């Protein structure tokens, strides 16, 4: 039976002309991945829904392809084993060998204090800078991920921002700000969260850059918003997100890892496959390749709506739902949300508002919550039935 199912599934995929895809049988996959950030030169106006304080900034910077003077000399080209000694040596520059990124001793008025490497994750790096008083700090992260799984950026951002909330003693998360970095050849999506108290600003930002995640965790005392923004711009000139994409851009031939348990329910297999194709087609038709080379663009709310609409259309053609109880529950929950006009609000809630919302879409969370108080919805979107993946080039 399993062999027959696989044959049917592959025939369906290979007769589809709208996308190229490799299909893999997989257990429930972990969508999380590593770290963090940057922001940049020309900041354009925010685009947001009036009912969702969800800002969307575009940051532009033309990356220069050149060899820094430090790489032409012997200084700073050695990755030292004694990283603590290296970090505090004002005459040294740390060179990250995998990306050729230079971490100088000084970043403006900040001095390098710690360099952390991770033996179990080659290439992963964290560098900490502090001001002379030791009160303000900047922590820059580089983490290799090897591929870009659906949910990578959102899940890693939420993991790290919840750590920051705990450190700051907050019982709430800051409103996520979606940011874009436009380089010469590539565009990078990012998410940023900020806490502001009197003259102290704490911020965590994460960008996905092909197989790399670039991040920045900042806390500054006695600084106003203008000075803080200026510092983030300076950091982006130093650590350019699109440069990391250029090191290893993602292959845009999508892969779909299906959950084995989901595929056991043959009644819903065609609807699941159609849903996955709807996401891939939406991405290809609506998002530029320069952006998709940096990561699978699943932050877009309309992509998820298109996938659910396709699932309901395919599954709704069946005269009877001879599916498992879980599959029936999923179908009727999504159908109820769509028919009530709250599918967008539900997706936003499930993904903790880390989404790109089109400016024309007006969301009504008050009405949604009132409706939910009367309707029992059990479906959880973190229980993925499949995961779309862009893998490294060459693949």
Concatenate the DSSP letters of all residues of 259-282 into one string: EHHHHH-GGGHHHHHHHHHHHHHH
Q: How confident is the model at residue 60 (pLDDT cuts 50, 70, 90)?
A: low
54 within domain boundaries: yes
With 60 as the cut, is the pLDDT of residue 52 above it?
A: no
Kindly state the average pLDDT of the residues 117-124. 88
Is 93 in the same domain as 240? yes
Is 191 in the same domain as 331? no
Closest CA to 136 of 228, 214, 215: 228
CA gap 357, 292 in Å, rounded? 18
7 within domain boundaries: yes
Is 327 in the same domain as 381? yes
- What DSSP designation does 356 have? B
> What is the model's pLDDT at position 325?
82
35 within domain boundaries: no
Asked which of 198, 213, 247 is the last residue of a domain, the reply is 247
171-225 tens-digit pLDDT = 999 999 999 999 999 999 999 999 998 889 999 999 999 999 999 999 999 988 9
Is 14 in the same domain as 139? no
CA gap 349, 351 in Å, rounded? 6
CA gap 212, 259 in Å, rounded? 26
Is 91 in the same domain as 234? yes
Is 91 in the same domain as 221? yes
Packing angle, helices 343-350 and 301-316, rounded to 10 = 120
36 within domain boundaries: no
pTM of the model: 0.80
Kindly state the average pLDDT of the residues 374-394. 85
Contacts of residue 125, defined as CB under 8 A and 6 or more positions apart, other chains included, come to 96, 115, 116, 117, 118, 141, 142, 143
Q: What is the sign, positive or negative, of the torsion defined by CA atoms of 230, 235, 241, 247? A: positive
Is 22 in the same domain as 149? no
> What is the model's pLDDT at position 108?
85
Asked which of 203, 218, 247 is the last residue of a domain, the reply is 247
Q: Which domain range does residue 214 map to?
A: 42-247
Is 98 in the same domain as 238? yes
Tally of structural domains, the chain: 2
Is 242 in the same domain as 268? no
Is 107 in the same domain as 184? yes
Highest mean pLDDT among 122-126, 238-242, 354-358, 382-386: 354-358
Q: How confident is the model at residue 145 (pLDDT cuts 50, 70, 90)?
A: very high
Asked which of 224, 247, 270 is the last residue of a domain, the reply is 247
Is 23 in the same domain as 71? no
9 within domain boundaries: yes
> What is the model's pLDDT at position 33?
34
Is 112 in the same domain as 16? no
With 60 as the cut, is the pLDDT of residue 58 above it?
A: no
With 50 as the cut, is the pLDDT of residue 314 above it?
A: yes
129 within domain boundaries: yes
Which residue has better confidence, 114 or 82? 114
Which residue has better confidence, 146 or 155? 155
Say if residues 147 and 392 touch (Cβ distance below 8 Å): yes
Say if residues 212 and 236 touch (Cβ distance below 8 Å): no
Which two three-digit tokens encode residue 277? 């194709």
């Amino acid at each position: 039976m399993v062999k027959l199912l696989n044959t049917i599934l592959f025939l369906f995929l290979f007769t589809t002309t709208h996308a190229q895809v490799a299909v893999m049988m997989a257990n429930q996959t972990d969508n999380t991945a590593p770290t963090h950030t940057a922001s940049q030169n020309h900041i354009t106006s925010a685009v947001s829904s009036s009912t969702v304080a969800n800002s969307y900034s575009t940051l532009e910077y033309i990356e220069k392809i050149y060899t820094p003077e430090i790489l032409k000399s012997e200084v700073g080209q050695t990755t030292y084993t004694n990283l603590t000694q290296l970090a505090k040596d004002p005459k040294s520059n740390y060179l990250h060998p995998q990306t050729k990124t230079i971490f100088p001793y000084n970043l403006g008025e900040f001095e390098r204090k710690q360099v952390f490497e991770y033996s179990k994750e080659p290439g992963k790096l964290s560098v900490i800078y502090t001001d002379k008083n030791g009160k303000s700090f900047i922590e820059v992260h580089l983490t290799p991920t090897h591929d870009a799984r659906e949910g990578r950026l959102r899940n890693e951002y939420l993991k790290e921002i919840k750590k920051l909330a705990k450190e700051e003693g907050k019982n709430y998360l800051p409103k996520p700000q979606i940011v874009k970095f436009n380089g010469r050849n590539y565009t990078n999506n990012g998410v940023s969260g900020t806490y502001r108290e009197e003259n102290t600003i704490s911020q965590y930002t994460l960008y996905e850059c092909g197989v790399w995640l670039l991040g920045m965790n900042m806390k500054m005392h006695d600084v106003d918003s203008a000075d803080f923004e200026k510092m983030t711009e300076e950091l982006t000139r130093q650590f350019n997100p699109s440069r990391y994409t250029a090191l290893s851009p993602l292959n845009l031939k999508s892969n779909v890892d299906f959950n084995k348990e989901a595929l056991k329910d043959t009644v819903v297999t065609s609807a699941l496959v159609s849903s996955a194709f709807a996401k891939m087609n939406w991405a290809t038709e609506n998002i530029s390749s320069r952006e998709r080379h940096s990561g699978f663009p699943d932050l877009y709310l309309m992509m998820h709506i298109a996938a659910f609409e396709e699932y309901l259309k395919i599954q709704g053609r069946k005269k009877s739902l001879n599916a498992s109880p879980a599959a029936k529950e999923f179908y009727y929950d999504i159908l109820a949300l769509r028919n009530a006009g709250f599918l967008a609000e539900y997706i936003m809630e499930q993904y903790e508002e880390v989404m790109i919302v089109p400016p024309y879409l007006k969301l009504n969370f008050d009405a949604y919550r009132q409706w939910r108080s009367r309707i029992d919805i059990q479906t959880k979107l973190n229980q993925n039935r499949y995961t779309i993946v862009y893998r490294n080039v060459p693949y």
